[in-house]
Structure 1
Amino acid sequence: MRIGILTEYFPPEMGAPQARLYELAIRLRQRGHDLTIVTAMPNYPTGQIFDEYRGRLFVREKLDGLPVIRTPIFPTKSSNLIVRLTSYMSFVTTSLMMASWFVGKLDILIVESPPLFLGLSGIPMSRWTRSKLVFMVSDIWPDVAIRMGDIISDKQARILEKLEGFIYRHCACVALTNPGAVEQVTQRFPLVPCGVISNGVDTSFFKPDLYSEDIRREFGIKSGQFAVGYCGLHGIFQGLEVVVRAAARLRDNPNIRFVMVGEGPTKQKLIAMVRQEGLNNITFFPHQPKRRMPAILASMDASLIPLAASLPGTMPSKVYEALAAGVPILVTAGCEAEQLIHRYDVGRLFPAGDDETLARGIQELAADPAKRRAIRANALRLAPRFDRGAIADRTDALLRAVAQNRPLPKVEW
């Protein structure tokens, strides 16, 4: 089939949606499909166009054999709503205008959301390419923003809900990342066809045998210490303040060490909290190259995956990487990872913002090596289900069903 992917985020940027779409596109091409990517000039997370693309209004290139069309965007990392909206709509406009000249007939057009607004480009693009529109939703907006609180007003939420419904009703399929998200959307939009295109992990890249004592020493972990690691964006949605408060509760336990790796808008606030508390059991490190992340994760004793709120239908991509590394997860309750914890015993849950429960879970894991070994075995048995190759096979089946107007395959965890 001829498949187009419309997304604001794509390599050489780094991040969960970028990796997810790139890995999926590569594997769909390996299965005999023709792919075309329409994306923005790379600018994430700095909010500035990457040097090699600066000053260029339009780029056609190949990335590892994938045809990529890049159109202009107004880049920003501002949290101001008007500025963010301007950025989103700039790519909606340029992708619609420029791609119309260079994208021919397609069988399937996949549109990545967030941002939700990209559906406004995807709908007419699917019309002129005579393709079936698959709206691939990583986070359900505006539901996520509403649950976070104080991010958008009630009026803005109502407008976005109307936009959400408008876009969904124009889709041949709304593809969510997990069965819980499918249930959430079908309850509100029972006539909208929904399927699952989940995130996943390259189990040949993330694996347990990359554990390294040298890496542990590099990140300040002493011999015999229980290392609790967080690797990723330090942002509002992660709610990392709970980690600092948990570290404060455990300050008198010399056997527990917190390792925070990454960058983001809340990092300086978190560092200030640590200094104010006078903590010496938590250390922050800069963003690390992608090639180092599997060994860093495998060298931790537990993986922190906090969220700022209970977010049903959300599955953090870090869960899959921890499973493949055989590392126990400590994840916020209320997201879809909760089902995996209950069903397969691969970690511990804590309510959003509850540093007491988080600290207790860390202490329990630190004190019970036998339990950690059992969790490790459970995680490694579960990980192949979310290998990117298996995900691509299920996605291939879903897209063929959409193209041929057949019932969508069911996915259960």
Structure 2
Amino acid sequence: MAHILFVSYFFTPDSLSTAVLMAELAQELQAQGHRLTVITTTPHYNLEEKALARQPLRPRWGRWVQESQLSGIQVFHVQVAPKGSRIWLRALDYLRYHLFGLWVGWFLVPRADVIFAPSPPLTIGLHAWLLSLRHRAPFIYNVQEIYPDVAVKLGVLRNRLLIRLLQGVERFVYGRAGRVAVISEWFRRDLLQKGVPPARLAVIPNFVDVDFVQPHPRQNTFSQELALDDKFVVLYAGNIGLTQGFETVLEAARRLTHLPDLHFLIIGGGARFDWLARQIQAQGLANMTLLPYQPRERVPEIYATADLCLVPLKRGMAQDTFPSKIYTIMAAARPVVAAADPDTELAWVVEQAGCGWVVPPEDVHALAQAIERAYQERGQAAAMGQSGREYVVEHHARPSVVRRYHELITALTGRPS
């Protein structure tokens, strides 16, 4: 079996969905017989005290590098600041992570057989390449979002020189990676157009723990705490950031105020959380509740509280990113309205699974119409939710997806199962 060095910017005890996904993947690969070491950051996105108590950090090199254990996996944490509305300072956090992470990987980690690096950030690929030189091992670049394309489409990146520089970094990483693992077939097509050889690409989707996220009664402790038992609840749970079209969601909520028992519930955090809170208050939207991230153990009952879930991407975003929350929605047997461009993985999954409706991004009329249809046709919506559950259990349960990573790693390292 192989010694795998995980280089991931997000990892537990941070409770961000990406952090949990990577921690579960590491634990599953360990269960397959591999040895794991992780280089990540200190919890900075969605810290839960219970999670930190289960996986306490202790100093390894002052406050700059700390260490924890996760089911016997050694985890090194580079100190970064808590995430806030400090987008331009995030580059400094990335720089600190890369510098100290390289020091850890160079001097503290025994020789690895393969390095696994999920993006974003894009520079994690350079980090993995440098460590691959030190360990004389190939690296797998795991593309969760296609950068810099996402940042360019959002308008975050406008400087042409910087865009060309990052595109050069992107090509360099694709050219040096032993394998490029993408989470969707549409990502694979995009990278083929960018010149990545087909033999270097592997399509391995993300997974969901279908035992943890299961259908639960609509009336539960969480819905009772929020007095939502007698409401038709439209839920969004996750990152409140730049890729989601919350302007459209706000306008749809305003247009649907004639349905007094329809209520929007938004749970999460991110760069636009404060902006969204101000908008809800300024517009007097009494049919909308905004909450910060909740403890992970409450996820099943949060989704059980929903009658309908939203995945409201902005125009063009579904081409370069794939919101894995769709799998959580499906595992909870809840129908979805997804704002997604045509001919994208998100649109294909929803239509293939028959688990909801796909509407054009940033189309207020279409979004409001789809929500009202689900409100009026609740029996059909519930059947769609059940169809989603059946689909995700068959195609995106954790064991089958992890097995594909296991096979990729053993083929790349030449170490037999």
After TM superposition, is the score higher than 0.5? yes
Using the aligned pairs only, state the percent identity: 28
Please say if residues 149 and 320 of structure 2, whose CA atoms lie closer than 8 Å, have aligned partners that are also in contact. Answer: no
1:350 aligns with 2:359: yes
Please say if residues 260 and 283 of structure 1, whose CA atoms lie closer than 8 Å, have aligned partners that are also in contact. Answer: yes
Distance of 1:9 and 1:275 partners within structure 2: 32
Please say if residues 201 and 386 of structure 1, whose CA atoms lie closer than 8 Å, have aligned partners that are also in contact. Answer: yes
1:197 aligns with 2:197: no
Cα offset, 1:75, TM superposition:
5.9
Report 1:113-192 matches (<5 A). Answer: 113-191=119-197
1:373 aligns with 2:390: no
Pick one of 384, 409, 413 that aligns with 1:403.
413
Cα offset, 1:73, TM superposition:
4.1
Point out where structure 2 has 5 or more consecutive residues left out of the alignment.
none
Cα offset, 1:279, TM superposition:
2.1
Shifted more, 340-349 versus 107-116: the winner is: 340-349
Number of equivalences: 401
Query: Which residue is 2:26 aligned to?
Result: 25
Structure 1 stretches of 4+ with a deviation exceeding 6 A read none
Tell me the secondary structure at the aligned position of residue 116 of structure 1: coil
CA-based RMSD of the aligned residues comes to: 2.2
Query: Which residue is 1:393 aligned to?
Result: 403
Query: Which residue is 1:316 aligned to?
Result: 323
Cα offset, 1:150, TM superposition:
4.3
Call closer, same or farther: CA 1:325–1:74 in 2, change over 3 Å: closer
Query: Which residue is 1:255 aligned to?
Result: 261
Alignment deviations for residues 6-46 of structure 1 (CA, whole Å, 9 cap, x no partner): 11211111112201110000000111111111112332258
1:286 aligns with 2:292: yes
Distance of 1:89 and 1:150 partners within structure 2: 19
Please say if residues 89 and 117 of structure 1, whose CA atoms lie closer than 8 Å, have aligned partners that are also in contact. Answer: no
Distance of 2:284 and 2:44 partners within structure 1: 36
Call closer, same or farther: CA 1:31–1:165 in 2, change over 3 Å: same
Cα offset, 1:263, TM superposition:
2.7
1:37 aligns with 2:38: yes
Cα offset, 1:219, TM superposition:
2.3
Distance of 1:203 and 1:124 partners within structure 2: 37
Distance of 1:79 and 1:237 partners within structure 2: 17
Tell me the secondary structure at the aligned position of residue 111 of structure 1: strand
Alignment deviations for residues 296-350 of structure 1 (CA, whole Å, 9 cap, x no partner): 1022111111123322142201100011000011112125210012222111122
TM-score (norm 1): 0.91
Query: Which residue is 2:99 aligned to?
Result: 93
Alignment deviations for residues 117-161 of structure 1 (CA, whole Å, 9 cap, x no partner): 122221121122121110111111001112222444333221110
Pick one of 71, 84, 108 that aligns with 2:78.
71
Point out where structure 1 has 5 or more consecutive residues left out of the alignment.
407-413
Call closer, same or farther: CA 1:222–1:197 in 2, change over 3 Å: same
Call closer, same or farther: CA 1:53–1:189 in 2, change over 3 Å: farther
Distance of 2:67 and 2:351 partners within structure 1: 47
Distance of 2:222 and 2:44 partners within structure 1: 30
Cα offset, 1:404, TM superposition:
3.3
Cα offset, 1:247, TM superposition:
0.3
TM-score (norm 2): 0.90
Distance of 1:271 and 1:57 partners within structure 2: 34
Call closer, same or farther: CA 1:28–1:12 in 2, change over 3 Å: same
Cα offset, 1:405, TM superposition:
10
Please say if residues 41 and 70 of structure 1, whose CA atoms lie closer than 8 Å, have aligned partners that are also in contact. Answer: yes
